[in-house]
Structures are given as structure tokens and as C-alpha cells.
Amino acid sequence: MTGKIGIRPPSDSLEATEEVITTKYALFDIKRLTKATSFLAGDEVMYIVKKDCVGKKSVLYHVYRVSDKRYVCPSALNKEDTIRMVQRKYNG
């Protein structure tokens, strides 16, 4: 295979550099639930923080289901709008 200008790319550049994770879970421990970090959506308790799946700080809000620490969604919205969005999706 050649590129648009006729240069053959190195073979390792076409391979995936990291595994694709289709289902994510929080790899950090949810130590304490408070009114500021949790809410109800349907029958589920949700945890909302600015931490990604590995526990690093993030600029986005991330929502996790508390029962199994499953990653629900990221959101660029503010906290209240994110909570409403998740509740709307879980309540149908």
C-alpha cells in the first residue's frame, strides 16, 4: 500500500496502538458518596465526578453507576444538566 504521494508508510504505523475498550468501568474506588457526588437515575445510584476511568483529573464530568462501577457517559455540560440528561435516559 502506498500513500497519496507514493511513499510507503512503515508497517507499525497502521496497527492499533492501544486496545479498544468497548465497556469501561471505574478503575478507582468510590470511597464516599455524598449529595454533591451522587444522584438517582431510575433505580440506580449514579456517581458524578471530574475523574476519568483511571482516576485522573478531567475537565469533563463523568458519570458511573455505583452498583458495578460501570462508566455511563462523559459530559461537557454543567453538573445539573448532566444529571438531568442521565436521568432522562434512564427513566425513558
- CA angle 17/19/24 to nearest 5° reads 140
In a domain, 14, yes or no: no
- State the Cα–Cα distance between residues 85 and 74, nearest whole angstrom: 11
Backbone torsions φ then ψ of 14, nearest 5 degrees:
-90, -10
- Number of folded domains in the chain? 1
In a domain, 15, yes or no: no
In a domain, 10, yes or no: no
Residue 48: helix, strand or coil by DSSP? Answer: strand
- State the Cα–Cα distance between residues 24 and 72, nearest whole angstrom: 8
Q: Give me the tens of pLDDT residue by residue for the chain, a chain 92 residues long.
A: 555 566 665 555 545 555 554 569 999 999 899 999 999 999 999 999 999 999 999 999 999 999 999 999 999 999 999 999 999 998 86
- State the Cα–Cα distance between residues 92 and 89, nearest whole angstrom: 5
Domain that holds residue 78: 21-91
- State the Cα–Cα distance between residues 45 and 66, nearest whole angstrom: 6
